[in-house]
Structure formats: structure tokens, C-alpha cells
A = this chain, B = another copy of it.
Amino acid sequence: MSQDRSITLSVDAMGGDQGPAIVAEGVRKFLSSDPATQVLLHGQREILEPHFADTQIADRVEIVHATDVVAMTDKPSNVMRNGKATSMWSAVEALRDRRAEACVSCGNTGALMAVSMIRLRKAEGVNRPAIACLWPSRNAQGFNVMLDVGADIRADQDDLLAYALMGASYARNGLGLVRPRVGLLNVGTEEHKGRAELKVASEMIAAAADKGDFDYLGFVEGGDIPSARVDVIVTDGFTGNVALKTGEGTATLISGLLREAFLSSAVSKLAALLSRAAMSRLKTRIDPRQVNGGVFLGLNGLVVKSHGSADATGVCAALSLAARLARSDFSERLANRIAGASALHQDAPKEIKA
């Protein structure tokens, strides 16, 4: 995998909670950190242009004017019908036309998935695309992959099998794991636990493990998501979305209480001062901004959804993730993997297998 391979990203500058200025700042950060990259930036030219005047990186940014903006509250079905003039549509369209190798947006998740579906189309063999997130974990790679975290509210056994294959492929290309360990999320690890379709899915995933180059662990529980037991957690988009937000909410609660604990006395304030370096490392480790970016899997093209409330650091992290995956030819490898049995070994990282 060459760090220097030139990559163009198509970026929707509008529609995030923080406004286009934050996206522009994130783009500047990203371009400075990765010299072999260009950005097509979609949005209102008069708003975006001032952010890139007089900077050395201006020649690596091409602003693509789009008059409309998808709001966070817009219904996806409405955007599909009437959204052609939006920056989001324009950003996806550039990916479709191969003017860019990946698309990134901070906007409305449902709308982004809907526009991506109709413009990029689903990959062969995929019924329901999924969104995969990275989750801070005890594993050496620092993160686990979980999917689906919100592309669709349902998933049947065939979808769950496709998620296992796609998640394993993502873990290989995004995290560099040669043979990821895959688990199916359930309310217990015993075989008799859980819904009927989960038992069927479990048997299907077990049968696909060898060909898919992953180890199948069977059922895992919520407590395993941040653990070192598993690398890829497969679940439906309803459960995955609730789990993701519950984990974030718990982390927010604890960090808030921790801050208050440090402020509770003069002695604890001194302790806070002395532990600042250690706490800052801890914060970086579990900071959602560092692992920002839900990857849409199962489409003909690489789309990364940045958190709507991402700041410039978060936007930069999502852009870097998109660039890393684009450089690994992840989309093509994944498509080959899903398309059929002939795809054996095709999605291993380049340095391991040609």
C-alpha cells in the first residue's frame, strides 16, 4: 500500500451540524497532513472560496458549486426526489463519474445512504448495504469494526451473512488484520439463545468463514463489543445503532463525572494537573473524533459518513480514513469478495497477497 498514491476525495461541504467553515478547516488539515491528495469540495462557492484564498493548498481544492443544502431533518425520500441541486448529490455524483475515488459527507445519514443507493447502486450480491463504524477496543489494533450501525433498521439472515463478509473485508483493508475474528451479536453466547433468524444466520456465517478468510466465533454479547475477544461485530442496523449511541452516551457520562470528580476539591484539582498527560492520552484513545467515519459498505463506490457534529479534527479523521481505504482499492476488493466464490483471497492487503 503506497502512502504516496495520489487520491482525489469528493467532499460535501454543507449539511453538517457545525456548518461549512468547520468542514473547510478539516479539509485544510487533511490536505496539509497528506500531500498526495486533492479535494473536490461541493457547496456554495461564495461561502467556501474565502476559506481557501491565500493558502498554499488552494490549488489542490476545486470548489464545485451547488446551490442547495440537505438539512438534517429532511426526509431521505424527499431528497431522492428533489435533491439534485444539493451539495450532497453533487458530491456523490462526482464519485459516480469517477472524478474522485471516495466521497465524504457530514450530512443527514439517511439522505446520504438514499442518494448513494440510487446514484452508485448496490454492489452485486448485496441486498442491504450497511454502515460500519470503528469502536475503541482492547485489541492491538485499538478498534473493532461493528456493522450495521444504521443503514437499515432490519436485516435477515442473508443480510447478516453479507455483513460478515463485508465486515471481515473492511477489517482486513481498514485495520490490516489478515484473518479477522467475526462474531454475531446476540443476548447470550449459548447456541439456543436469541431470535430464530440469528440461529440460521450463525450457521450460514460459520459455513462461509473458511472461504471468507475469517474466524467465526459464534454469538457475542454487548459486553464483547469493546473487548479483545472479537474484531468484527455483526448485527442489524437497529440494534447496532442503539448500541453505538449507548456506548457513546456511557462514555460521555463517565467523562463528565470524571471531570466533576477532579474539580471536587483542591487536592483533586492538583491530581488533575499531575495526571493531565496521562488523561490526554486516554482521551485520545477513546475520543470519537479520532475514529470518526461510518463507512458505507455494499455500494459501487466508497462513501464515508462523518459524524454530523464533527469538528475539524473529526472531519480530517474521516477524510484520512476515506483516503486510506481508497488507496487499498477496498471497494473493488469488497465487490469481488461479495460477488462470489471465485473471489477467494482477493481482498487481502496488497503487501500480503497480490
Task: Identify the closest chain B residue to A270 (Cβ).
Answer: B274
Please tell me if the beta carbons of B278 and A271 are within 8 angstroms of each other in the complex. yes
- Minimum Cβ distance to chain B for residue A150 (Å): 6
Interface status of A73 (Cβ within 8 A of chain B)? yes
> Chain B residues near A136 (CB, 8 Å)?
253
Please tell me if the beta carbons of A150 and B187 are within 8 angstroms of each other in the complex. yes
Please tell me if the beta carbons of B227 and A249 are within 8 angstroms of each other in the complex. yes
Total residues of chain A contacting the partner, CB 8 A: 62
In whole angstroms, what is the CA distance A335 to B216 when docked?
45
> Chain B residues near A246 (CB, 8 Å)?
222-223, 225, 243, 246-247, 250
Q: Is the interface of A mostly helix, strand, loop or mixed?
A: helix
Please tell me if the beta carbons of B253 and A281 are within 8 angstroms of each other in the complex. no
Choose the segment among A2-10, A62-70, A260-268 that binds chain B (4+ C-beta atoms closer than 8 Å): A260-268
Residues of A184-242 whose CB lies within 8 A of B: 185, 187, 190, 192, 194-195, 221-227, 235, 237-239, 241-242
Interface status of A277 (Cβ within 8 A of chain B)? yes
Known: A195-B153, A222-B249, A226-B253. A265 touches B242 (CB 8 A): no
Please tell me if the beta carbons of A278 and B268 are within 8 angstroms of each other in the complex. yes
Task: Identify the closest chain B residue to A256 (Cβ).
Answer: B138
Interface status of A275 (Cβ within 8 A of chain B)? yes
Interface status of A47 (Cβ within 8 A of chain B)? no
Interface status of A29 (Cβ within 8 A of chain B)? no
- Minimum Cβ distance to chain B for residue A187 (Å): 4
Interface status of A248 (Cβ within 8 A of chain B)? yes
Interface status of A341 (Cβ within 8 A of chain B)? no
In whole angstroms, what is the CA distance A275 to B241 when docked?
35
> Chain B residues near A258 (CB, 8 Å)?
258, 282
Q: Which of B75, B221, B241, B251 contacts A250 (CB 8 A)?
A: B251
Interface status of A350 (Cβ within 8 A of chain B)? no
In whole angstroms, what is the CA distance A251 to B138 when docked?
13
Interface status of A257 (Cβ within 8 A of chain B)? yes
Q: Which of B153, B223, B252, B255 contacts A249 (CB 8 A)?
A: B223
Interface status of A21 (Cβ within 8 A of chain B)? no
Please tell me if the beta carbons of A245 and B223 are within 8 angstroms of each other in the complex. yes
What are 9 A-B pairs with beta-carbon distances under 8 A? A153-B194, A194-B238, A222-B241, A225-B250, A257-B282, A268-B274, A270-B274, A271-B274, A275-B275
